[in-house]
Structure 1
Amino acid sequence: MLLVPGDPLNPRRDDPHFAAQAAAARAAGVPVNRVDHDALVRATQDNGEAAAAVAGVPASEDAVYRGWMLSSAQYAALAEALEARGVHLRTSAEEYRTAHELPGWYDALRSVTPESVWTEGSDLVDLVKAARGLGAGAGVLRDHVKSMKHHWSEACYLPDVLDDAAVERIGARFLELRDDAFTGGFVVRRFEEFTGAEARTWWIGGRCVLTTPHPDTPDELPTGLDLIEIEPLVAELALPFVTVDVIRRTDGAWRVVELGDGQVSDWPATADPAELVSALFQPGR
């Protein structure tokens, strides 16, 4: 079964952003059902909201969600509400959190991703202390889930991680912009120089099954992609469905920018959603 969000303006229709994927699933004979994303967002405050979000979803031994990003707590509420209806999500709540939050996957991919330190919580003093742990040089700021890269100079890029005043100022602006969406704690990653386009790779059962452009650059796909160092590390994580965003560093090495749960990773507009459906639901998955 494929689960997609319903259209907030008409719950009897699929959310327009995921409608093409839902249509491709139906064309392939995969049952599609809708969940109420707005109710899921409220689920951590009221457990009844999660049950309401999945009302009407029939039982299924294997369900995959393709929808808007959920916090780990919201996904756990979704999984619990579905289990009560006899629906088993392919990705457990624990597996979702491992993929969704950087501290869950960082150690496994340490050798192929920028060096990172993090805090638990939003204390700016803790952020300054953590940043010092990287030593001299530039860094990139984010939380356990997301950066504010579109606000690069004011809330993302740290020219010198040892400049306490600048780190605190940029951290404060990051908190302001992320607001209620701030998740887990601060993460400071060592800045690395990249070149060329970023690729989004799609992994099922620890194996890369698709390579697409990154949704931010849907018309650009890097050439010569080499996953030889990355593949065994992702396989070792043993996660059911993830994406790994990779890009070439200026010295030629392929580096992991991000690992994320595949259920909430955006699909590029230039790629055929039937390819994703086929990969997810072919026999034996």
Structure 2
Amino acid sequence: MNVIYPSDYFDNSKVDEMFKAEYYSAQESGLSCLLLSTQHVSNGKYKFSKGFELDAPVIWRGWMLKSDEYKSLSDAVTQNGGNMLVSLEDYLSSHHITGWYKSCEKYTPETIFLKENDDFDKVTNQLKWPAYFVKDHVKSLTTSRGSIAINAEEIRDIIESIKKFRGDIEGGVNLRKVEDIIKTSERRYFSVQNNVYSSDNIVPDVVVEIAQHISSPFFSIDMAENASGELRLIEIGDGQVSDTKEWEVDKFIQIFLNMH
């Protein structure tokens, strides 16, 4: 397995601080680790710290990439003799909620997909949900304001805040019905080539069931309990851009070693 990490912006021989612990753990475990020069990428160029190990798939472990950014990275990897484990199509199928919602509808809160300029007063009058969780195709608002709205005006405010803090709305606006979720119960699972892993070696049957609906070879599954004790799917994410959450870094790296 070849794993690409982003470099420090000012020193492309060092890994970006955010990924330091994982990078060193991956290196020590014997995985082929490469640094991608962050400064070069900002100028539209792709410079890797070394060549790829042939006949071993390539994954990215870094920040979230938009569709065109992922395509550019994937093309650069191919031009340098590598082969991405996750295709652009598979990346978007788990990174964007529109890629997984329909196949996982029964496991996750009800969601409607809208455009930024839709009439939210009309929509809320029709839905009449007690509260709305507002996000784009990828992320919600992570500031102290949070992403929960109770009316159209608050929905518009959250959309403006997402644009302010993240630059734009990616894909479109999603309104998710707020369920009585116990936030502290949230757990992240990773699926790698049809095997599902957890931080504590316990994988509930429903998580395995959900994983069978997703075509990507590497993705994350976030689950949480509701007030009735039922496990609900919070979201699917691309595994390459999902942080490790409650996982110990060495345990996370182990899932790639299992592929050998």
Match for residue 191 of structure 1?
A: 178
SS of the equivalent of 1:257 reads strand
Aligned to 1:34: 35
1:215 corresponds in structure 2 to: none
| Alpha-carbon separation, structure 2, partners of 1:227 and 1:177 | 36
- The residue that corresponds to 1:142 in the other structure is 135
Aligned to 1:60: 54
TM-score (norm 2): 0.87
Partner Cα separation in structure 2 for residue 281 and residue 226 of structure 1: 19
Answer yes or no: is the 8 Å Cα contact 1:140–1:157 preserved in 2: yes
Matched length: 256
Alignment of 1:68-217 (within 5 A): 68-120=63-115, 122-123=116-117, 125-128=118-121, 130-131=123-124, 134-152=127-145, 156-159=147-150, 163-180=151-168, 182-195=169-182, 196-211=184-199
Q: 1:134 to 1:233 in 2, by over 3 A?
A: farther
Deviation at 1:56, TM superposition (A): 4.5
**Change in CA separation of 1:281 and 1:133 when aligned onto 2, cut-off 3 Å:** farther
Q: Which residue of 1 aligns with 2:255?
A: 279
**SS of structure 1 residue aligned to 2:7:** strand
Q: Aligned partner of 1:33: which letter?
A: L
Superposition deviation, residue 130 in structure 1: 5.0
Alignment partner of 1:21 is 2:22: yes
TM score, norm. by length of structure 1: 0.80
5+ unaligned residues in a row in structure 2: which ranges? none
Q: Identify the structure with the greater strand proportion.
A: 1
Percent identity over the alignment is 23
Change (3 A) 1:87 1:100: same
AA matched with 1:138 = A
Q: Which stretch has the larger CA shift, 252-261 or 127-136?
A: 127-136
Contact 1:4/1:66, CA 8 A, preserved across alignment = yes
SS in structure 1 of the partner of residue 83 of structure 2: strand
C-alpha change, 1:53 and 1:102, in structure 2 (3 Å) is farther
| 3-state SS, counterpart of residue 110 of structure 1 | helix
1:12 aligns with 2:18: no
Q: Contact 2:197–2:203 at 8 Å: present in 1 too?
A: no
How far residue 202 of structure 1 moved from its aligned partner, in angstroms, is: 1.3
What residue identity is the alignment partner of 2:20? Answer: A
